[in-house]
Amino acid sequence: MLLHDTALIYGRYLRQSLRSRFALLFGVLMPLLYLLFFGPLLTDLPLGGQGSSWQLLVPGLLLQLGLFGASFAGFSIIIENGQGVVERMRVTPVSRLALLLGRVLRDATVFVFQAVLLVLAAVLMGLRAPLAGVLIGFAFVALLTVSLGSLSYALAMRVRTPAEFGPTVNALSMPSMLLSGLMLPMTLAPGWLDVLSHFMPFRYLVDAVRDAYVGSYATAHMLYGVLVAVALTALAVTVGTRVFRTSGA
């Protein structure tokens, strides 16, 4: 029953996304601009044996794609509330968990597709990374999207208006990006900033993907990254499902 309901919701929202091809491509624009205009600046930067500049930057851009894209996914719930879509779903027997999973799995599909486009562009610019590492990066993007998408939908169900939702997400996502070392590894930062970054869960994800992009899989970074990603996803889906239930979605 849960799988059937999830497939129905997933299919509904995926068809909506496929009808908006411009939005699919536009979502990758910001990371692509970073790739084009910021990447070349790292070419002569001393990286301390952490791989090439592209192996350093591309993992951060992949997670940036998931961070900002999934964080703002809740806007669609606010729109649906205004159109009465959520109200109509309230009277159906569809599982509340399926209502959440169908949405976040659609989001994960879209952002992994955009991540593929970003990696292909990076390859053209000089990225060289093992296939297994690239696939691991896509898996982390999917997990990050599911976790942040769940929290974003939960927040949108609570605040209800774009005027409340947008500033709240901005206030949380921007410090998360800066303190996680998505653009540059935090080992290059002053000691106090490096210590502070360890309280950001996204740091562990990007460190793991960077290891994967240089072909290092059995590392502490990889272990911590997987544990944090799985724990964050489980917690976020639990919170999101609870909000969907109590809000009567």
Tokens for 58?
Answer: 């591309």
Are the CB atoms for 70 and 155 separated by under 8 Å?
no
Per-domain boundaries in the chain: 2-246
* Greatest distance between any 2 Cα atoms in the chain: 60
pTM here is 0.89
Residue-wise pLDDT for 34-49, tens only, equals 888 877 777 666 555 5
Residue-wise pLDDT for 73-117, tens only, equals 888 888 887 777 666 766 676 777 888 899 999 999 999 999 999
The full DSSP string for 115-176 is HHHHHHHHHHHT----HHHHHHHHHHHHHHHHHHHHHHHHHHHHH-SHHHHHHHHHHHHHHH
**How far is residue 232's CA from residue 249's CA, in Å, rounded to a whole number?**
23
Nearest to 234 by CA among 150, 172, 173, 135: 150
Confidence (pLDDT) at 47: 57
Are the CB atoms for 246 and 160 separated by under 8 Å?
no
Confidence (pLDDT) at 63: 93
Confidence (pLDDT) at 51: 62
**How far is residue 120's CA from residue 31's CA, in Å, rounded to a whole number?**
13
Are the CB atoms for 157 and 67 separated by under 8 Å?
no
**How far is residue 200's CA from residue 178's CA, in Å, rounded to a whole number?**
10
Q: Using the Cα atoms of residue 177, residue 180, residue 184 and residue 186 in order, give the sign of their dihedral.
A: positive
Confidence (pLDDT) at 249: 47
Q: 3-class DSSP state for residue 20?
A: coil
- One digit per residue, pLDDT tens: the chain, 249 residues? 788 888 888 998 888 888 877 777 777 778 888 888 877 777 666 555 556 788 888 999 999 989 988 999 888 888 887 777 666 766 676 777 888 899 999 999 999 999 999 999 999 988 899 999 999 999 999 999 999 999 999 999 888 788 889 899 998 888 888 888 888 788 777 888 888 888 999 999 999 999 999 999 999 999 999 999 999 999 999 999 998 887 654
The full DSSP string for 207-232 is HHHHHHHTT--SSHHHHHHHHHHHHH
Are the CB atoms for 103 and 240 separated by under 8 Å?
no
Under 8 Å CB-to-CB from 121, ≥6 apart: which residues?
Answer: 32, 35
Confidence (pLDDT) at 52: 76
